[in-house]
Amino acid sequence: MSKEAVFTMKLEADLRAEFMAEAAAEDRPASQVMRELMRGYIEQRRRARDYDDYLRRKVEAGRTSMHAGLGRSNEEVEAAFAAKRQQVAADRA
């Protein structure tokens, strides 16, 4: 990948000094570390957006199902699992 852009940022002097020292301790250029951090941040944000999109689709599918009369109410689900818990407890006794 061609390196044609310059990125300038303002930060605290002590933060810069610590960062530069850590990069030097690994014998790595600070720019290489920054590129790695930036790529990681981009990937993290993409995954977060993908998950938000996935969750939005799941919620919409659930709402569509409920509107079509295919879902169960919270009370029905709670009652069904309460019965299952009672059965498991009775089986263990």
Residue range 47-77, pLDDT digits in tens: 999 999 999 999 999 899 989 988 888 899 9
Task: Establish if 19 belongs to a structural domain.
Answer: yes
On whether the CB atoms of residues 69 and 58 are closer than 8 A, the answer is: no
- Within a domain: residue 8? no
Q: Which domain holds residue 86?
A: 13-92
- What confidence tier does 1 reach under pLDDT thresholds 50, 70, 90? low
CA distances from 86 to 77, 81, 82 (A): 14, 8, 6
pLDDT tens digits, 24-41? 999 999 999 999 999 999
* pTM (whole model) above 0.85: no
Q: Which amino acid is at 48?
A: A
Displacement of CA 71 from its chain's centroid (Å): 28
State how many domains the chain has. 1
pLDDT tens digits, 4-13: 888 899 999 9
Q: Is residue 7 part of a domain?
A: no
Alpha-carbon distance 77 to 60, whole Å?
19
Environment class of residue 33 by beta-carbon count within 10 Å: exposed (0-12), middle (13-18) or buried (19+)? Answer: middle
